[in-house]
A and B are shown apart, each in its own frame.
Chain A
Amino acid sequence: MTATGGIAIGSSPRLAPRRRSWLRSPWLVPLPGFLLLAVLSLPPFLYALYLSFINVDISLPNNKVHFVGLANYAQVLGSPVGQHALLITLIVSFGSTAAAIVIGLVIAYLIHLFAGRLDGLVTVLVLIPLAVSPVAMALVFSLMLDPLYGPVPQIVAFLTGALIAPTGTSLGALLTIIFVQTWQWSPLAVILLLGGIKSLPIEPIEAAMIDGASFWRALWHIHLPLLRPLLAVAAIFEFILCSQVFAATELLTNGGPGNATVDLSLYIYKIGISESSQVSVAAAAGVITLILGLISTAVWLKVAKWDVQVYQ
Chain B
Amino acid sequence: MSAALPLGMPTAARRPRFRRGTLTTIIGRIALALFLGVWMLPLYWLVNTTFKFKVQIQSEMPVWFPSPPTMENIDWVLNNLDHAAIYRSIRVVAVSVLFSVIFGPLMAYALSRFRTRFNRQLESWIISTRMMPPAALIMPFYFIFLRVHLLNNELGLMLLYIAINLPLTSWIMLAYLRGLPEDAEEAARIDGCTRWGAFWHIILPMTRASIAAAGLLVTILTWNEFFIAFVITSSNITFPVQVAGFLANGMNPEYGHMAAAGLLLSLPTVLIAIIFHRALLSGLHAFAGGK
Complex formed: what's the CA distance from A36 to B20 in Å? 57
Pairwise interchain contact A286-B138, C-beta atoms closer than 8 A:
yes
Complex formed: what's the CA distance from A254 to B8 in Å? 44
Across the interface, A305 reaches (CB within 8 A) one of B39, B196, B253, B291, namely B291
Across the interface, A137 reaches (CB within 8 A) one of B31, B42, B140, namely B42
Pairwise interchain contact B269-A132, C-beta atoms closer than 8 A:
yes
Pairwise interchain contact B138-A132, C-beta atoms closer than 8 A:
no
Within 8 A of A (CB), among B128-177: 128-129, 131-144, 159-160, 162-163, 166-167, 170
Complex formed: what's the CA distance from A118 to B277 in Å? 15
Complex formed: what's the CA distance from A11 to B134 in Å? 33
Within 8 A of B (CB), among A258-284: 264-265, 268-269, 272-273, 279, 282-283
Pairwise interchain contact B265-A131, C-beta atoms closer than 8 A:
no
The smallest C-beta distance from B54 to any residue of chain A, in angstroms, reads 10
List, in ascending order, chain A residues with CB within 8 A of B107's CB: 30, 33-34
Complex formed: what's the CA distance from A279 to B140 in Å? 9
Binds B, one of A60-68, A75-83, A220-228, A238-246: A238-246
Decide yes or no: A240 and B131 within 8 Å by CB, A6-B118, A114-B29, A120-B8 being known contacts: yes
Within 8 A of B (CB), among A272-312: 272-273, 279, 282-283, 286-287, 289-290, 292-294, 296-298, 300-301, 304-305, 307-308
List, in ascending order, chain A residues with CB within 8 A of B103's CB: 30, 32-33, 36
List residues of B whose CB falls within 8 A of some A CB.
Answer: 1, 4-9, 15-16, 18, 20, 24-25, 28-29, 31-32, 35-36, 39-43, 45-46, 49, 57-62, 103-104, 106-107, 109-110, 114-118, 121-122, 124-129, 131-144, 159-160, 162-163, 166-167, 170, 195-196, 220, 223-224, 226-227, 230-231, 240-241, 243-244, 246-247, 249, 253, 255, 258-259, 261-263, 265-266, 269-270, 272-274, 277, 280-281, 284-285, 288-291
List, in ascending order, chain B residues with CB within 8 A of A198's CB: 6, 9
Pairwise interchain contact B269-A114, C-beta atoms closer than 8 A:
no
Bitwise interface map of A from 126 to 154 toward B, beta carbon under 8 Å scored 1, else 0: 11111111111111111110101101001
Pairwise interchain contact B133-A289, C-beta atoms closer than 8 A:
yes
Pairwise interchain contact A123-B259, C-beta atoms closer than 8 A:
no
List, in ascending order, chain A residues with CB within 8 A of B288's CB: 188, 192, 233-234, 237, 304
Pairwise interchain contact A113-B5, C-beta atoms closer than 8 A:
yes
Pairwise interchain contact B110-A30, C-beta atoms closer than 8 A:
yes
Within 8 A of B (CB), among A22-62: 26-27, 29-30, 32-34, 36-37, 40-41, 43-45, 47-48, 51
The smallest C-beta distance from B242 to any residue of chain A, in angstroms, reads 9
Across the interface, B244 reaches (CB within 8 A) one of A129, A144, A234, A251, namely A251
Across the interface, A119 reaches (CB within 8 A) one of B8, B36, B139, B162, namely B8
